[in-house]
Copies of this chain bind each other. A is one copy, B any other.
Amino acid sequence: MDFKIAVLAGDGIGPEISVQGVEVMSAVCEKFGHKVSYEHAICGADAIDKVGDPFPEATYQVCKDADAVLFSAVGDPKFDNDPTAKVRPEQGLLAMRKKLGLFANIRPVQTFKCLIHKSPLRAELVENADFICIRELTGGMYFGEKYQDNDKAYDTNYYTRPEIERILKVAFEYAMKRRKHLTVVDKANVLASSRLWRQIAQEMAPNYPEVTTDYMFVDNAAMKMIQEPAFFDVMVTENTFGDILTDEGSVISGSMGLLPSASTGESTPVFEPIHGSWPQAKGLNIANPLAQILSVAMLFEYFDLKEEGALIRKAVDASLDANVRTPEIQVAGGEKYGTKEVGQWIADYIRKA
């Protein structure tokens, strides 16, 4: 293939891990004979500082013209204590999602054997957890009509049938490729929007007769994910519930710093770590590049290049086994590797494979 990749490094540790993602992408392309070119573009607090817009039109154009976006992280503490500031890095994220039509956010929740002890859950509960959270990303309260004055405020949780159908289609298809178990999460005992979700899911389910589809209220799902995470295979839900549940899911694995995600939809897909910009670590060469590197694996897999993805995963596992790890996951007494060194080790492994 001939890849045109938009690289959005963003803020904090973003630029450092981005370099390692690119490095690994290049190594794989070399190895498998793909061509690749990169176009860098600004976003987040960095773009606010430079041009006053966290997702400038020029960045949008770069993304639109690319085959895929390799995204790192946005966010800066100077915006944190003022959620009402007119321009904020998060708005760049929301603008990117909406403009690129990224309606499906896909987050695998996976454990790494050597990191199970980092999970807040008891090991026996979490060690068999392996599921995918699919979150609708361009609808619901995030984008519905809003109003606020000094005395009242509202947000509208609005969904249309096509919005619901397309995300459920993604979910059913993921389930077909996996253990064929889909859990549709909603609050259909209270919300009208949830009732439409459930109705449409029930209409679609017969088209996937091999998939066991079950329905769970969001409060139950929040509990079940902790009590029995291995229950889940593919879980799908609307935007706001998904925001909460995907974060809850990421934390139970104990491997939050290693989890990638994909956002796909109408135009260019975006691949990114689920962790944030960790501003305190900026420039220190201590951030773990594995989530970014695994998001490159998701990128290849998106294009059905399974071997490429698998090689990256193998290299990551090898680095962990060899204790080539950044400080936060290094074993006691082990040498601490930097962001750069871990990325380099993995790229070398791939080249030599």
Contacts and interface: CB of A to CB of B under 8 A. Distances in A.
Interface of A: 83-84, 88, 90, 94, 119-122, 125, 141-142, 144, 146-148, 150-161, 187-196, 198-199, 215, 218-220, 222-223, 226-227, 240-241, 243-248, 250-252
Contacts of A215: 83
B153 A196 contact: yes
B156 A150 contact: no
A205 to B, nearest CB: 13
A155 B191 contact: yes
A219 B199 contact: no
A154 B152 contact: no
Q: State the copy count for this chain.
A: 2
Contacts of A122: 119-122
Given A154-B156, A155-B192, A227-B251, 13 more contacts: A83-B215, A84-B188, A88-B189, A90-B189, A120-B125, A120-B226, A146-B192, A148-B193, A155-B191, A187-B243, A219-B244, A219-B247, A222-B248
Contacts of A222: 222, 244-245, 247-248, 251
22 contacts: A83-B195, A84-B195, A90-B189, A120-B125, A122-B122, A142-B190, A144-B154, A148-B195, A151-B161, A152-B160, A152-B161, A152-B196, A153-B196, A155-B191, A156-B156, A187-B240, A219-B244, A222-B245, A222-B247, A223-B247, A226-B252, A244-B244
Contact of A248 (B90, B198, B243, B248): B248
B244 A198 contact: no
B190 A90 contact: yes
Contact of A157 (B94, B157, B161): B157
Contact of A247 (B84, B155, B220): B220
A111 to B, nearest CB: 15
A167 to B, nearest CB: 15
Contacts of A252: 226
Contacts of A189: 83, 88, 90
Contacts of A152: 158-161, 196
Contacts of A247: 219-220, 222-223
Given A90-B189, A190-B90, A226-B251, A154 B148 contact: no
A192 B154 contact: yes
A40 B248 CA distance: 41
Contacts of A88: 189
Contacts of A193: 148, 153-155
A219 B243 contact: yes
Contact of A226 (B148, B190, B226): B226
A193 B142 CA distance: 11
Contact of A160 (B151, B157, B241): B151
